[in-house]
Amino acid sequence: MRIGLGKRVYFAVTLSLAVIAVLLAVLAVVQSEQIKETLNKLDESEESGLISTNTSETLSSTICTLKNINRALWLASLCVGATASVSGGTTLFLHMAERRAKSIKKRSITSIYSYESLKMGPPKMNN
């Protein structure tokens, strides 16, 4: 059985969005580790009484990057969900259409046989 073009496109889009979502999640974990390190440096700087503007700017930049990654991650997961639901709906309608076509085909074959039997008339006895 061949897979239709529509199913292949949905699969490719869903798979690529899932890969993007995983990559963004990994990037978010890395960024959160950077935030932890920066916060530790900030704590050390506060304890020593010397807070560098570089540490503050790094923390601000990292938080901004993490927010952008978080937004992109939500968007990617939303797209994956929407694509999966559309693909699922299309698959459901395709399945229903196939069942309907099989039912119509069976009825048409049955009606052809019944038409042929009517055309030939009742069975004749050989006497």
Give residue 112's pLDDT: 58
User: How does DSSP classify residue 122?
Assistant: S
User: What radius of gyration, in Å, describes the C-alpha atoms of the chain?
Assistant: 32
pLDDT tens track for 9-20? 777 877 777 777
Q: Which residue has the tokens 């939303």?
A: 78
Residues ≥6 apart with Cβ < 8 Å to 58: 38
pLDDT tens track for 70-121? 777 777 667 666 666 666 666 666 677 777 777 766 766 665 556 556 566 5
